[in-house]
């Protein structure tokens, strides 16, 4: 069955430092991959997506992610974190073959130190 793993439950970085959030997936075919951000009391907002083509994708708010098929990974990166980036980040894959089901990871909560 398809699955998404986000190994880091919490990450703390200093403002201005670089960031990498990990995402590993298990998927039978070429996956459609997504990163979403959820701020407290807010719905999820799409940061970026990968469907095909260039494996390095750019998103909003200065985020980027790289699809690595050999490692089944889709890690999210940002070169310099801002205090406003503190939120929960979710990786997602889908839809599951033959369904419309998208599978989300359990999330990584990012804390930014001033």
Partner 1 sequence: GAGVSQSPRYKVAKRGQDVALRCDPISGHVSLFWYQQALGQGPEFLTYFQNEAQLDKSGLPSDRFFAERPEGSVSTLKIQRTQQEDSAVYLCASSLGREIHEQYFGPGTRLTVT
Smallest gap, in angstroms, from Cβ of residue 30 to partner 1? 12
Among 15, 32, 73, 75, binds partner 1 (CB under 8 A): 32
Sequence-ordered list of residues with C-beta below 8 angstroms from that of 105, at least 6 positions apart, any chain: 4, 5, 6, 23, 90, 91, 92
Sign of CA dihedral 5, 101, 90, 71: positive
- CA dihedral 22→66→102→89, nearest 10 degrees, is 40
Nearer to partner 1, 55 or 80 (CB): 55
Nearer to partner 1, 15 or 96 (CB): 96
Smallest gap, in angstroms, from Cβ of residue 10 to partner 1? 11
Which parts of this chain interact with partner 1 (CB under 8 A)?
4, 32, 34, 36, 41-46, 49, 51, 90, 92, 94-95, 99-107
């Amino acid at each position: 069955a398809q699955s998404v793993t986000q190994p880091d439950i919490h990450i703390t970085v200093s403002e201005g430092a670089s960031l990498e959030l990990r995402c590993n997936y298990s998927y039978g075919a070429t996956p459609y991959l997504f990163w979403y951000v959820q701020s407290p009391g807010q719905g999820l907002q799409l940061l970026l997506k990968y469907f095909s083509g260039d494996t390095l994708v750019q998103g909003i708010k200065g985020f980027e992610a790289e699809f690595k098929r050999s490692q089944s990974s889709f890690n999210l990166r940002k070169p310099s974190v801002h205090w406003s980036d503190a939120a929960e980040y979710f990786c997602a894959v889908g839809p599951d073959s033959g369904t419309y089901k998208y599978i989300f990871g359990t999330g990584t909560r990012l804390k930014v130190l001033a």
